Amino acid sequence: AQSVAQPEDQVNVAEGNPLTVKCTYSVSGNPYLFWYVQYPNRGLQFLLKYITGDNLVKGSYGFEAEFNKSQTSFHLKKPSALVSDSALYFCAVRDPNSGGYQKVTFGTGTKLQVIP
Amino acid sequence: KAGVTQTPRYLIKTRGQQVTLSCSPISGHRSVSWYQQTPGQGLQFLFEYFSETQRNKGNFPGRFSGRQFSNSRSEMNVSTLELGDSALYLCASSLRAESPYEQYFGPGTRLTVT
């Protein structure tokens, strides 16, 4: 069975500093990986995804994520945090090798707090 | 292009009642998924529909059911409501059910059961 872990419930970072939100996954083969962001009182918004190819994926709002197969990780990064980046971030995985219509499994979410 | 819409946005029900939530996907999207979001459990998958057929189901009791119509609009129903059903219910649409398509989420329906 596929699973996703976000080991940090909350990450605090000063504005202007680089940020990292961690995600590790478990699937039987090569995964499809996603990052979503949720602002207060709103639904989730798609940020970026890894399907295949280059391990560094660039997405919306200056975010990027690095796929590391040996460490089964897909950490979200941004070189310089903004106060407006403060939100709840979800990592998700889909296993294309599980056959049929594969469901998406989400992590429990990491609250990012950017301090002015 | 209009985003995913969900109605109603807020709902208050009492234990034992039933509720129906509605979701209209992005035009052209044929896959609709439903999730329950609670502070303690995060985002839990309920079910996914594609071409009016349920393709996947999460680990929820039979009180939770859904359907999809020919225009891809979807409804979910919860019968015999319990206090623990209080949550934000999110609907997401994507072009197709197969990966690697990303999902687009609606704003959610906040259900409160008293």
C-alpha–C-alpha distance, residues B23 and A11, integer Å: 33
Q: What is the DSSP letter of A30?
A: P
Q: What is the dihedral of CA A92, A96, A99, A103, to 10 degrees?
A: 20
pLDDT on residue B99? 62
A positions 37-66 inside 8 Å of B (CB):
41-46, 49, 51
Per-residue pLDDT for A100 more than 70? Answer: no
- Which regions of A1-116 does DSSP assign to beta strands (E)? 3-5, 10-14, 19-21, 24-26, 32-38, 44-50, 56-58, 64-68, 73-78, 87-94, 105-106, 110-115
Nearest CA in chain B to A108: B42
Kindly report which listed range (A78-82, A95-99, B47-51) carries the lowest average pLDDT score.
A95-99
Write the pLDDT tens digit of every residue in A82-93.
999 999 999 999
Write the pLDDT tens digit of every residue in A44-63.
999 999 998 899 999 999 99
* CA of residue B47 relative to chain centroid, distance: 8
Q: What is the mean pLDDT of residues A7-28?
A: 96
C-alpha–C-alpha distance, residues A18 and A63, integer Å: 11
Write the pLDDT tens digit of every residue in B12-31.
999 999 999 999 999 999 99
pLDDT on residue B85? 97
Answer yes or no: do B4 and A105 touch at CB < 8 A.
no
DSSP states of A82-108 as a string? Answer: -GGG-EEEEEEEE-TTS-SSPPPEE--
State the pLDDT confidence band at A42, using cuts at 50, 70 and 90.
confident
Asked if residue A6 lies in contact with residue A108, where contact means CB atoms within 8 angstroms, the answer is yes
Q: What are phi and psi of A84, to 5 degrees?
A: -70, -10
Quote the minimal CA–CA distance from B90 to chain A in Å: 7
Interface membership of A94 toward B (CB under 8 Å): yes
Quote the minimal CA–CA distance from A34 to chain B in Å: 8
Interface membership of B58 toward A (CB under 8 Å): yes
Asked if residue B106 lies in contact with residue B56, where contact means CB atoms within 8 angstroms, the answer is no
C-alpha–C-alpha distance, residues A65 and A57, integer Å: 5
Which stretches of chain B score pLDDT less than 70?
1, 97-99
pLDDT on residue A101? 62
Quote the minimal CA–CA distance from B86 to chain A in Å: 15
Q: What percent of chain A has pLDDT over 70?
A: 96
Maximal C-alpha separation, chain A? 47
Nearest CA in chain A to B48: A103
Q: What are phi and psi of B83, to 5 degrees?
A: -55, -35
- Residue A99's contacts (CB-CB under 8 Å, 6 or more residues apart) are none
Q: Say how many C-beta atoms besides its own lie within 10 A of residue B78's C-beta.
A: 25
